Amino acid sequence: MRLTTLNTGKPDGQLAVVSDDGARLLTSPDWPTLQGALEDWSRAETQLSALQARLCAGEGEALAPDQLLAPLPRAWQWLDGSAFRSHGELMERLFGTEPKPPERPLMYQGMSHAFIGPHADVVLPREEDGIDFEGEFGVITDFVPMGVSADEAMKHIRLVIQINDWSLRNLAGAEMKTGFGWVQAKPACSVAPFAVTPDTLGETWRDGRVHLPLVVDWNGKRFGAPSGSLMGFGFHELIAHAAATRDLCAGTIIGSGTISNPDYRDVGSTCIAERRAIEMLDEGAVRTGYVAFGDTVRMEALLPDGGLLFGAIDQRVVASARI
Amino acid sequence: MRLTTLNTGKPDGQLAVVSDDGARLLTSPDWPTLQGALEDWSRAETQLSALQARLCAGEGEALAPDQLLAPLPRAWQWLDGSAFRSHGELMERLFGTEPKPPERPLMYQGMSHAFIGPHADVVLPREEDGIDFEGEFGVITDFVPMGVSADEAMKHIRLVIQINDWSLRNLAGAEMKTGFGWVQAKPACSVAPFAVTPDTLGETWRDGRVHLPLVVDWNGKRFGAPSGSLMGFGFHELIAHAAATRDLCAGTIIGSGTISNPDYRDVGSTCIAERRAIEMLDEGAVRTGYVAFGDTVRMEALLPDGGLLFGAIDQRVVASARI
């Protein structure tokens, strides 16, 4: 099942179930928002699946891509991991930071009051901040009790999503050095239009990981397509880490961190910082600049048969008019 | 004006205006929640002030302290500063971390999907995590645009609150060393029952600071009463820091960080970690342990004439039944 949220002018939009080809949708007056559905998931899933069956039978109204918001346009909690070890190692070399212990997941709490829709402009104040994209997969949970085990946590993964975690690299180092994590360096993330139930991924959902490449294009040119399979921790382990001392509310989003593979010279990267680190290692100097205003970034993961999965994030970065 | 939120079983409770003595309240069907009021503050303030006038005239129903939640039982964004330099210096000595540059505010994004009411039990998994309290003042903003100046930010401070930012000290060091900030070490905060408009503070609200002591008692014994006046940055400056690269949604909570004064040997502390650091400095060894299950912590700030301000946080720490 594939869920999306339509722009109705309300902050949480209108939940809709989408046909397998992404062309049609159906809504239910009983489930106006995805947040509401996640708070009562077993009932919601049954009723939304019935809409899914009607879509399979050919019902539904036409879906217009420009009416789509992020599946959760805002969330009560967004916790982003950094679970790809090859990314971490490259970042440590680029920024000269200390190696992180591999036995514990890395995770920070990020801004969750606004997620940017897949085709909306990304409004940022300054190019000089070092604008970068970060391609990630993520999951959305229902309510998770404090102290959950990783095994139990797997059952709380209700939806899988695809994220662009925008980062301002020239602000990140100073914030990281404080130990307090990022505020200024991590503005709102973008999210692909469709949140999918794990069964939609078929065999490509295993061990709490998405075993598919995320294809990233920057200004229409292929930038990388590493696989989500090589997470050092699965999403179920990230959830257990997050829930060690707190309940997680329904609608908590957990991110994988920047997708990265050790054969980065072949598969490319999902963020510019990583490419810059590779250039530094290989050529002794950085060649690639960060994102300029007007640039476009596209990210999409497809099923092995080329079938639609999360849909594409495809958008432009623009200057804030105010600053 | 003094606002509170009543427990109605709904996640956001019911907003109420409280009389100056904290004994009576009035609600308005037009403003069911504080979040809703903050999203349309100028209209809300006018109408809620009319209730305040009726309370002054003796109207209202009796307020029962055990029906009070945190003023915002959940918020879309909680950003906590660490603006008291004497606290930072003591923590650096205790944990052996590097000194932080004083020219930039320190700030992390914290868990905001649940704030604990002033008299509810604080449920935590393990004493061994090093349970500590942290007395803070905070502010709640309406919508703040990205790039706001500190001067403009002052106008967006709509309410002032009093917070206990619970911390798990034995988990904090490892998380801080990653540079990613705290997830496990920072569970839900508690908040005093009344959120007050800045004018309620009179002359004790100046320069974006609360010029009053926060009185902290641990198991009925005075622990400290340092003043909020000595913030290295005012709340308006913390807001400008937070909004450098993002809009702040209405209902954003900004914290001062642990209240601390350089004459800590006289005025005491608002967290145990600071007292432990002082013991280490003065006596070469730590004498004071962290919070045990069953302990009570009380925090209250009063107006100079002894008048009610935010009300008291007064609650017990208990073990999670599950873990």
State pLDDT tens for residues B144-167. 999 999 999 999 999 999 999 999
The model carries a pTM of: 0.97
Q: What percent of chain A has pLDDT over 90?
A: 93
Q: What is the largest CA-CA distance in chain A?
A: 59
Say how many CA atoms lie within 13 Å of A16 toward its Cβ: 28
Determine which helix (DSSP H) or strand (DSSP E) holds B199, and give its type and residue range.
none
Q: Are the Cβ atoms of A107 and B180 closer than 8 angstroms?
A: yes
Terminal Cα distance for chain A, rounded:
42
Grade residue B285 by pLDDT with cuts at 50, 70 and 90: very high
Q: Are the Cβ atoms of B179 and A176 closer than 8 angstroms?
A: yes
Q: What percent of chain A has pLDDT over 70?
A: 99
- Residue B323 is predicted with a pLDDT of 53
Measure the CA–CA gap between B121 and B117, rounded to whole angstroms: 8
Instruction: Enter the DSSP assignment of A118.
Output: T
Measure the CA–CA gap between A79 and A253, rounded to whole angstroms: 6
- Average pLDDT score, chain A: 96
Q: Tell me the pLDDT tens digit for each residue of A238-281.
A: 999 999 999 999 999 999 999 999 999 999 999 999 999 999 99
CA distances from A86 to A99, A278, B228, B247, B249 (A): 12, 11, 45, 33, 35
Beta-carbon contacts of residue A140 (< 8 Å; ≥ 6 apart): A38, A71, A72, A75, A157, A158, A159, A160, A161, A195, A251, A252, A253, A254
Q: Which of B40, B245, B248 to mutate to test the interface with A (most CBs of A within 10 A)?
A: B245
Q: Tell me the pLDDT tens digit for each residue of B195-235.
A: 999 999 999 999 999 999 999 999 999 999 999 999 999 99
Torsion of CA A9, A13, A17, A18, to 10 degrees: 50
From the list A76, A179, A184, the residue facing B112 with the nearest CB is A76
Q: Which residue of B has its CA nearest to A186?
A: B245
Q: Are the Cβ atoms of B245 and A185 closer than 8 angstroms?
A: yes
Measure the CA–CA gap between B128 and B158, rounded to whole angstroms: 39
From the list B113, B176, B322, the residue facing A147 with the nearest CB is B322
A6: buried, middle or exposed (CB in 10 Å: 19+, 13-18, 0-12)? Answer: middle
CA distance B131 to chain A (A): 11
From the list B110, B147, B187, the residue facing A245 with the nearest CB is B187
- Residue A322 is predicted with a pLDDT of 66
> In chain A, which residues have their Cβ closer than 8 Å to the Cβ of B110?
109
> In chain A, which residues have their Cβ closer than 8 Å to the Cβ of B107?
180, 183
Torsion of CA A210, A216, A222, A223, to 10 degrees: -100
- Residue B57 is predicted with a pLDDT of 97
CA distance A236 to chain B (A): 16
Q: Which residue of A has its CA nearest to B127?
A: A245
Average pLDDT over residues B99-115: 91
Return residues 267-306 of A near B (CB < 8 Å). Answer: none
Can you tell me whether residue A2 is helix, strand or coil?
Answer: strand
CA distances from A14 to A38, A144, A182, B101, B312 (A): 14, 25, 31, 46, 41
Say yes or no: A108 contacts chain B, CB-CB below 8 A.
yes
Q: Tell me the pLDDT tens digit for each residue of A85-113.
A: 988 888 887 777 777 777 899 999 999 99
Say yes or no: B114 contacts chain A, CB-CB below 8 A.
yes
Which of the pair, B142 or B92, is modelled with greater confidence? B142
CA distance A10 to chain B (A): 13
Terminal Cα distance for chain B, rounded:
42
Q: Tell me the pLDDT tens digit for each residue of A153-207.
A: 999 999 999 999 999 999 999 999 999 999 999 999 999 999 999 999 999 999 9
Q: Are the Cβ atoms of B108 and A109 closer than 8 angstroms?
A: yes
- Residue B166 is predicted with a pLDDT of 98
- Residue B101 is predicted with a pLDDT of 73
Q: Tell me the pLDDT tens digit for each residue of A197-211.
A: 999 999 999 999 999
Q: Tell me the pLDDT tens digit for each residue of B237-281.
A: 999 999 999 999 999 999 999 999 999 999 999 999 999 999 999
Partners of residue A47 on adjacent β-strands: none
Say yes or no: A321 contacts chain B, CB-CB below 8 A.
no
- Residue B322 is predicted with a pLDDT of 65
CB B319 within 8 A of CB B170: no
Residue A323 reports pLDDT greater than 60: no
Can you tell me whether residue B136 is helix, strand or coil?
Answer: strand
Q: Are the Cβ atoms of B242 and A183 closer than 8 angstroms?
A: yes
> In chain A, which residues have their Cβ closer than 8 Å to the Cβ of B100?
178
- Residue A103 is predicted with a pLDDT of 83
Return residues 155-214 of B near A (CB < 8 Å). Answer: 168, 171, 174, 176-185, 187-188
Pick the closest to residue A140 from A116, A160, A154, A118 (CA basis).
A160
CB B116 within 8 A of CB A290: no
Q: What single-letter amino acid sits at B208?
A: G
Return residues 75-104 of A near B (CB < 8 Å). Answer: 76-77, 79, 82, 97-98, 100-101, 104
